[in-house]
Structure 1
Amino acid sequence: MDNKNAIDTAYKKEKRRKIILMLLFVVSFLSFAMLTFILLKYSILPTNMRFTGIISLIVIYVLLQIIISTARITRIKFSIIAFILILLLVFQLLVFMYLNKGVSIFDRIGQKQGSESITYSLVVNKDSSYQTIDDVGSTEVSAALETDGRSIRTFLEKFKESNNKSISLKEGGQFIVMAKDLLDKKTEIILFNEGHRAVVEEQLPEFSENTRVLQEVNFETEKVNPQKASHVEYEAPFNVYISGIDTYGSLSTVARTDVNLVLSINPTTRKILITSIPRDTYMPIAGGGNNQGDKLTHSGIYGIEASIETLENFLDTDINYYARVNFNSLIRVVDILGGINVQNDRSFSAFNGDYFESGDIYLTGERALTFSRERKNLPGGDNDRGKNHIKVIEGIIKKALSPSILFNYNSLMDEMYNSMDTNMPTSKLIELINAQIENNKSWSFDNAVIEGYPSMSLPSYAMPGWELYMTDPSQESIDSVQSQIKSTLSISNQTE
């Protein structure tokens, strides 16, 4: 009788172990199914590696299922199988969460690029008798109706919604003209696009101090022609425009382009050419610039599409993708990466007192920003600053390609969503990552800078009648940079 009870007890224990293992098996296999789904949906990992991994895991699960179903499950076998299933479960869930976060972030970034944020202010002199919008009454407000008509129509709709009243507008000309007229008391109130404030204050530094805002209206508007990513074949070379906007606000805010870099990338030759076009370079500005001459930085106030078309015409090349970042982005991304190293050609002191030695130097986020922004204490001015932009971007790319990125993966993904706007599709990014995993070869970097001659006599479309510092690009420099870009992207130059 005791022997029969012992057998029954052992049988019940084994049955209980099998039930627990089957439950663990089901949960673990579900995590495998989730991981397989995301790997196949987004084609993550090189094909051979992806299918080898999936098939290997299937074999493991089949063997475990056979053992659980047919073999006698002792306490030792139970512990070993449970450990394997839990290990697989944890591993697969972690990988799934990492991958899912990455692809969802880039999908969401792509969804942001169809709109832009515009802020209009009703501005009066500081000593104006107008204290509220009700005081304006029937006074006509000066506005840039000819150049900003589409956005102003949206402003009028939003203004009426929030104030239950309308205002009368009259043509005031360019924003710099209206700002000057306001300060000179030739007009009482202006409708001011805040994207132009930094441009205006270059010539009228007293503008903000001597004026005040009666009311501000911010709204999101659909871009006229959202910059669609062009289709780039597998391993085909392509260009990416990096625009650093001159603002600490939202990426969708219309603002000047202070940093202008074009990355020419050839995945087959593993070559990246980083071309810097200094912000003051003089060229025809597309879009809202009506192809009139101005400094490149002003193209940003007409939207990212205007900057891209302007540079495509200037460099005689197609720009397939863009990435738009602001100054906040640089600080946080560099810090998340754990800092970067750059090769500094010459020692210099920056505008804030920071000192940068020559040679290989380590930069935190704040120092990387200072290193990138300094130009007055560099002998080459804007050209040398452009070269430093290149060094920082190269340092970020190299650090991002290192295995250490995994330790701060979640923080980096969150920061990329908050501080980057791009039209590069997720599939293209995954393709590049897959190629890097498969080849595991280093990239070679080269750089180019558009050079020219300083001038104070070139006309500005955005600021007519004002003498602005510009760089008149030399044709020799333009031809040289165009040749370097074509050479980098050339299929005939591909090596084994």
Structure 2
Amino acid sequence: MKQRKRTSGRPVKLKRGSSFDVLIAIIAVLTSAAFLYSLFSFKVIPTKWVMLIMLGLSLVLLILAFLSIVRTKRWISVVKRFLLLLIAIATSVGTLFVWRLKDSIYQIGNSTTTEIAYVLVKADSDIQKQSELSQKSVLYHDGTDADIGKKVQEALNKEVANIRYEKNESYLDMSEALLAAQCDAIIVPQSQYNYLTRKNENLSASVRILSEITYTKEHTSSGNIDITEKPFVVFVSGMDEAGELNTDLHSDVNILMLVNPITNEMKMINIPRDSYLPNPALEYGNDKLTHTGMYGVENTLQTIENLFQVDIDYYVKINFSSLIEIVDTLDGINVDVQITFCEQDENRSFAQEDLICLNAGPQELNGKQALAYARHRDSYVDQDLSRNKAQVDIVKGIVKKILSPSGITKVDTLLGNVSDYVMTNFSGDEISAFAASELEDGEAWTISSLTISDRTFDSRINASAPDLGPLDVYLFSKEDVAEVREAIDSFIDPQKLSDFSFDLDDLHGKTYEKLKNNGVVYDVDAQYPH
């Protein structure tokens, strides 16, 4: 008889996997692949973290796959199936979470608003409908609102052919030309129409709105800055009024944020809401800074750029009435309250039971308390300037909380609702890149502030509301402007500080010359005698 050859070791006994085992294994692999793809495409989670997650998942799946083809004890099979199901569920939820977060970021970073413009004709004009504008002369603004004129033209051209468009750089001149029958119609944004009719009470009776054009305005950044590698400037405009963000209202909070992602430093410069400055939207007539917000956040931004001769890279427009939601989502913020006071609640109720009272000193504020502190001014000697400091402290508190370990865990919830009360021209890619850089860096930020404190007040006529008579305003001095410009230059480009110089009689450089050539004198001494 032939003897069987002895073999060394026992052969591995394979088992026939059940269809259920195969199914859950395939699902786990597919959901894991989708999860990893979402992490890679999101570009917020640092690559090294994603690689570690991928390595860990791969090892677990390989071990579970091996256990699926070999005979094991029953309890091991049960554990294996449980782990596969757990991986499938966890990676599915993770994928949904990542895509939701990505969608929220891109929704914030691709802000659009709906704007309205009017086509005006004389009240006694023979033109009765939009189609009759063919071969007619229509004036449009080719200055700061050139993009509005073009958008309205695009809308009109879809309905009417052969309109004769003519450029003009002054809405006031356009309205006078219309009344003098020097043109057949003019294109005017709703905000400018309101201004013109306030300035000239007879205008509304002398003109007629032929048609109302609705257009979409995109708020996008230039994309010329790598905000993970270079310092940049952000303008924060806050509305302390009820209303949608796409509604142009007073800009009550005006903060320049200087951000250096290399040194992890941030400096905030608060600009008084009652600053008396030339309003670009109103032919550079002198106006309160807060009023410039009625003509769009870009108009307020341009006003500040003209004053300090600084290029503002981005803006963030927030509704301070929604401060409650922001702070409460973050589970409160830490603020050093300047004074002991009581203030009305978010509904502006002065009923005793509704008052919100705080004691002076460092403390954690909830949403209602933060809003009360941001609004309060009656207890201060200088009122608005001290309230400005309080608002800066609140913004600092929010930023610090978001950048803290506990704050990061709240980002998903915050972003899920933030589009309702934040509008910005940061792109989704820029927000993602900055977040990824911060997660990888992990270093704490140093946040400081600068408050303009050279307190000079007066009463002046405001271009946006001349009928109200003289209003209380803040007058800038040369020293104010010089201090802010030096702070900006030294922060954005420290190398320039040793060569920092400018003519105090011409603080505004090219902007001054441009405005001077247009007949607008923009001089600190002339506009704001100290």
The answer (yes or no) to whether the contact 2:234–2:313 under 8 Å persists in 1 is yes
1:299 aligns with 2:301: no
1:222 aligns with 2:217: yes
Report the counterpart of residue 269 of structure 2 in structure 1.
275
The residue matched to 2:278 in structure 1 has which SS? strand
Q: Distance in 1 between matches of 2:302 and 2:433?
A: 26
Q: Distance in 1 between matches of 2:66 and 2:208?
A: 74
Q: Distance in 1 between matches of 2:425 and 2:326?
A: 19
2:428 to 426, 442, 459: 426
Q: Distance in 2 between matches of 1:338 and 1:38?
A: 29
- Equivalent positions of 1:174-193 (< 5 A) are 175=194, 178-179=197-198
Q: Distance in 2 between matches of 1:80 and 1:427?
A: 41
- Equivalent positions of 1:325-364 (< 5 A) are 325-350=318-343, 352=350, 353-364=355-366
1:245 aligns with 2:248: no
Q: Distance in 1 between matches of 2:231 and 2:98?
A: 26
1:23 aligns with 2:18: no
Report the counterpart of residue 35 of structure 1 in structure 2.
35
Q: Distance in 1 between matches of 2:227 and 2:329?
A: 32
Q: Distance in 2 between matches of 1:176 and 1:245?
A: 20
- Equivalent positions of 1:258-407 (< 5 A) are 258-286=252-280, 288-350=281-343, 352=350, 353-405=355-407
Q: Distance in 2 between matches of 1:249 and 1:298?
A: 16
The answer (yes or no) to whether the contact 1:243–1:322 under 8 Å persists in 2 is yes
Percent sequence identity over matched residues? 25
Report the counterpart of residue 445 of structure 2 in structure 1.
443
- Letter of the 2:451 counterpart: V
- Letter of the 1:480 counterpart: E
Q: Distance in 2 between matches of 1:409 and 1:328?
A: 20
The residue matched to 2:450 in structure 1 has which SS? strand
**Is the helix fraction higher in 1 or 2?**
1
Q: Distance in 2 between matches of 1:407 and 1:447?
A: 27
- Letter of the 1:222 counterpart: K
Report the counterpart of residue 126 of structure 1 in structure 2.
none
Q: CA deviation at 1:491?
A: 6.0
Long gaps (5+) in structure 2: 1-13, 128-139, 160-174, 181-187, 345-349, 497-530
The answer (yes or no) to whether the contact 1:178–1:190 under 8 Å persists in 2 is no
- Letter of the 1:423 counterpart: N
Change (3 A) 1:361 1:170: farther
Q: Distance in 1 between matches of 2:369 and 2:300?
A: 28
Q: Distance in 2 between matches of 1:484 and 1:300?
A: 25
Q: Distance in 2 between matches of 1:187 and 1:424?
A: 39
Report the counterpart of residue 75 of structure 2 in structure 1.
76
Report the counterpart of residue 415 of structure 1 in structure 2.
417
The residue matched to 1:469 in structure 2 has which SS? strand
Q: Distance in 2 between matches of 1:227 and 1:309?
A: 15
After superposition, give the CA deviation of every residue in 1:62-89 in whole Å (9 maximum; x if it has no partner).
33323323x2243122122223223322
Q: CA deviation at 1:137?
A: 10
Q: Distance in 1 between matches of 2:224 and 2:383?
A: 35
After superposition, give the CA deviation of every residue in 1:208-254 in whole Å (9 maximum; x if it has no partner).
xxxxxxxx98945436x865454325322112211112432221112
The residue matched to 2:362 in structure 1 has which SS? strand
The answer (yes or no) to whether the contact 1:330–1:365 under 8 Å persists in 2 is yes
Q: CA deviation at 1:14?
A: 5.7
Change (3 A) 1:468 1:332: same
Change (3 A) 1:174 1:277: same
The residue matched to 1:97 in structure 2 has which SS? helix
The answer (yes or no) to whether the contact 1:118–1:253 under 8 Å persists in 2 is no
After superposition, give the CA deviation of every residue in 1:68-123 in whole Å (9 maximum; x if it has no partner).
23x2243122122223223322332333222211110121223323x344499xxx
**TM superposition score normalised by structure 1:** 0.74
Q: Distance in 1 between matches of 2:495 and 2:81?
A: 56
- Letter of the 2:260 counterpart: N
- Letter of the 1:279 counterpart: R
Report the counterpart of residue 184 of structure 2 in structure 1.
none
2:470 to 467, 470, 473: 467
- Letter of the 1:436 counterpart: E
The answer (yes or no) to whether the contact 1:229–1:423 under 8 Å persists in 2 is no
- Letter of the 1:490 counterpart: D
Report the counterpart of residue 47 of structure 1 in structure 2.
47
The answer (yes or no) to whether the contact 1:329–1:415 under 8 Å persists in 2 is no
The answer (yes or no) to whether the contact 2:240–2:321 under 8 Å persists in 1 is no
1:483 aligns with 2:482: no
The answer (yes or no) to whether the contact 1:272–1:444 under 8 Å persists in 2 is yes
Report the counterpart of residue 229 of structure 2 in structure 1.
235
Change (3 A) 1:407 1:238: closer
Report the counterpart of residue 88 of structure 2 in structure 1.
89
Aligned length: 427
- Letter of the 1:255 counterpart: L
Long gaps (5+) in structure 1: 1-12, 121-135, 162-167, 194-215
Q: Distance in 1 between matches of 2:207 and 2:78?
A: 74
The answer (yes or no) to whether the contact 1:450–1:473 under 8 Å persists in 2 is no
Q: CA deviation at 1:385?
A: 1.2
Change (3 A) 1:137 1:317: closer
Report the counterpart of residue 208 of structure 1 in structure 2.
none
**TM superposition score normalised by structure 2:** 0.69
Change (3 A) 1:299 1:187: closer
Q: Distance in 1 between matches of 2:427 and 2:246?
A: 18
Q: CA deviation at 1:274?
A: 1.3
Report the counterpart of residue 65 of structure 1 in structure 2.
65
Q: Distance in 1 between matches of 2:471 and 2:227?
A: 43
After superposition, give the CA deviation of every residue in 1:379-430 in whole Å (9 maximum; x if it has no partner).
2221111111111111112222334346655542222022211121223222
The residue matched to 2:300 in structure 1 has which SS? helix
The answer (yes or no) to whether the contact 1:453–1:474 under 8 Å persists in 2 is no
The answer (yes or no) to whether the contact 2:114–2:217 under 8 Å persists in 1 is yes
After superposition, give the CA deviation of every residue in 1:132-178 in whole Å (9 maximum; x if it has no partner).
xxxx99999xxxx9999968x969x99xx9xxxxxx99699974674
The residue matched to 2:228 in structure 1 has which SS? coil
Q: Distance in 1 between matches of 2:152 and 2:229?
A: 43
